[in-house]
Each structure stands twice: as C-alpha cells, then as structure tokens.
Amino acid sequence: MDSKRLSLFQRLRDFKIPSTILDAIFENDEDLKILENAFDALVKDGFKEDEAAEEISKMIFNELDIEPDQSFDVEK
C-alpha cells in the first residue's frame, strides 16, 4: 500500500470506520478509486485532510446505515 493510501486508511480509522469495512473498500480497486477521488475533491474544495476524512466517514456510516459507536464482532 502506498503512503497516500495508508494515510487515508489511518485517517478514516481515526474517525471510527471499522478496519473490516476499510479492508473491503481498499481491496476493491473500483471502490478505492471512488474513495480517493472523493477525498481529493474535498481537499481541492478547501477541506483540510482531516476534515475531508471526517466527511467521508460520515458518508460511509450513512451509506451503511450504522452508527459510529456500533460495535462489530469482527473488531473485538
């Protein structure tokens, strides 16, 4: 994994995206490209990288219809 992708992965983990979800996204080239494009677009629009990661994490939680503090058996 290159350093840009690793940084993005870590930033999203900081906003409580479970690693199992991120692993699934990062293993799928199409999903990863969408994620990277969304992140880059937010940064280009003036968001700081942490702010962009926070916005993306909100979108992921919303799309999956889960709460950020919801526990996952796989994460334990």
Rounded distance, CA 63 to CA 66, Å? 8
Rounded distance, CA 13 to CA 8, Å? 9
DSSP designation for 68: T
Q: What residue segments make up the domains of the chain, in order of their start?
A: 3-75
Percent of the chain with pLDDT over 90: 80
Which residues, in sequence order, are CB contacts of 4 under 8 Å at separation 6+?
Answer: 36
> What does pTM read for this prediction?
0.82
Give the pLDDT confidence of 48-65 residue by residue, as tens digits. 999 999 999 999 999 988
Query: Residue 13 in contact with residue 19, Cβ under 8 Å?
Result: yes
pLDDT, position 11: 96
Q: In this structure, which amino acid lies at residue 71? A: S
pLDDT, position 72: 52
